[in-house]
Structure 1
C-alpha cells in the first residue's frame, strides 16, 4: 500500500506577510534611531551644568514684632562646561528661605550662556515686612548674634539648550543651595555653597 504524500504547507496569507514587513521596518527604525541618539551623545558628550553661591551678605537687617526687613546680596556662579552646548535662560526666579519659609524674592534678566563659560549673576533680594512666626523670629535673632544666618537659596528658570544651529525644547531648571551662611559682617570670610540640580 503506497504512502500518500503529506499535504503541502499552506502558503502565508498576504496579510501575515504585510504584518511581518511592518514589524521588521519598525524594528529597523528603532535600531537606527537608537544608533543616531548614541552617536549624537558621543559627539556632544553633554556635561552637567554647575552652580554655586560665591558670596552672600545681608544689609539693613531689622527684625521687629516678628516682621523682617532686610536686603540680601548674592553672587551666583553658573558654569557651563560643555564644548558644544550653549544655554538660553528665560527670566530667573531667585528666592531666599529660612526654615522652609520664603522671606525674599527677585527675578533676574534672561541671558545666553556660551559654551565653556562661567557667568556670575548678582542678585539683590529684599525682604519687606515679611511676617514670621514667633519661633522663626527667635531663631533668626540667635543666628544674627552668631554673625551669620543659615538660609536656603532657590533658583528656578526655564532654559533651552542650543546644539549647533538647533535649539532644543524648554526645560524647567530647579536649583537648591543649602545651607548658605549669609554674612552679617563683611569682615568674615564667606564659605562658598554648592547647589543641587533638579530637572
Structure 2
C-alpha cells in the first residue's frame, strides 16, 4: 500500500495566496518609494544666521528692554521640492531663559532658493533673576552677548503638484554672538535641524 499525501485544503491555499499577494504589495511599495526617492533626491534644508545686532538695549532693576535684529538665511537646495512656511516663530534665549520673541510672515520658498528672513525680536520689560541680570551685564561689558536663537515653523513640502501634510520644523542656532558695537563683524552661525 502506497502512502498518499492528502491534497491541501482550500483554506491553506487561500492563506498562501493572501501571503503571496501581501509580499508582492510590500515589494511593489518599497520599489515605488525607492524610485520616487531616486527621482526627487531630497536634500536637507540649510539655515544660518548671517547678522546679529541689538538696539535700544536697556537693563534696569533686573528688567530688560531691547530689540535684537537677526538676518536668517534659509536655503532650499532641492531641485524638485519647494516649501511653504505657514507659520514661523523666532525666539532668543539667554542661559535658558527666553528674553525676546516675534513671529514672521508666512512665505513660499521655491526649489534651489536662498531666502533672507529679517527677524526683529523684541524684549519688552522682561524680568530677569538677579544672577541672570548680573551675567548679562558682564557679557555686555565684554562687548558680546551669546544668545541661543530658536525657530519653530509649520511647513509643507510641495513636490510637483502634490502638497504634503504639515510638519513642525525646529531650528536651533547656538551660540549667536550679538556684538554691542556695530564695528565688530559677526561670524556666521550655522543652525541645527530637528524634525
TM-score category (smaller protein): over 0.9
CA distance in 1, matches of 2:182, 2:43: 35
Offset, 1:13? 0.8
Secondary structure of the 1:135 match is: helix
Partner residue, 1:190: 186
The yes-or-no answer on 1:151 pairing with 2:147 is yes
State which of 156, 173, 178 in structure 2 corresponds to 1:177.
Answer: 173
What runs of 5+ residues in structure 1 fail to find an aligned partner? none
Aligned pairs (5 A) from 1:89-100: 89-100=85-96
CA-to-partner distance for each residue in 1:14-72, whole Å, 9 max, x for gaps? 11111110010000000000000000001100000000000000111111111000000
State which of 88, 110, 113 in structure 2 corresponds to 1:117.
Answer: 113
State which of 20, 25, 30 in structure 2 corresponds to 1:24.
Answer: 20
Offset, 1:169? 1.3
What runs of 5+ residues in structure 2 fail to find an aligned partner? none
Offset, 1:147? 1.1
Alpha-carbon contact 2:87-2:155 (below 8 Å) kept: no
Runs of 4 or more above 3 Å deviation: none
CA distance in 2, matches of 1:185, 1:173: 33
The yes-or-no answer on 1:54 pairing with 2:50 is yes
Decide which structure has the larger Cα Rg and report it: 1
CA distance in 1, matches of 2:20, 2:87: 47
Aligned pairs (5 A) from 1:32-111: 32-111=28-107
What count of residue pairs does the alignment treat as equivalent? Answer: 195
Partner residue, 2:10: 14
Offset, 1:148? 1.2
TM-score scaled by length of structure 2? 0.99
CA distance in 1, matches of 2:78, 2:43: 6
CA distance in 2, matches of 1:72, 1:30: 52
Secondary structure of the 2:18 match is: helix
